[in-house]
Structure 1
């Protein structure tokens, strides 16, 4: 008998929490239901289906249009920025240099720990350069 009470009491507490024993049932509110308006094609919708046999837009044109839509085309540069780019040699930079630098076939010289120590050395007041290599 005691085991039955131990098993039934938690079940009754759970059901009472749900409102099963309260006698009140939640009813639907028929006035709370609203219908959605039907989908309407906007009046400025002018997209036409492709015609068979015509050439579609190239990928480069689509990419250019997407970049201009996102970023609005090239931004005007200030006089200071233009001057800085001219001094840095913007006109002498080879096209695709970023691809060349990232290429695994590009030869890179590893200068080692000594060069890293010289670069990381604190400035001194003398004209002689010296650096201690970390050990």
Structure 2
């Protein structure tokens, strides 16, 4: 009896895999009924103006200037919040060439302490031979 039930269920599942949809009355899409559409047309660009006689050609400009303009787009307008924040930070009082003088040996800097000097003076390497030492405990 059990084999008969299993056989009947297998027959029902295989019947669902049939190629015709005579029971549902639906047909598949007709691939030959596709209609062709008109090609897209690019509208004319009315923003273009004719070149001025004697003016430099835009493609002959400095390539680095063109690259910077393409990447950053020139000076962007700042929002009110950004202007207020920069004003409170004191950007109007900063010297124009401050970044070039920050690395000068004569520039006075804040002393960061012995730990920072030890980190900077540490030998180069991959760190496999590194040892940690905690002050006040004997070394291992």
TM-score, normalized by length of structure 1? 0.37
Higher relative contact order (CA closer than 8 Å, sequence separation 6+)? 1
TM-score, normalized by length of structure 2? 0.36
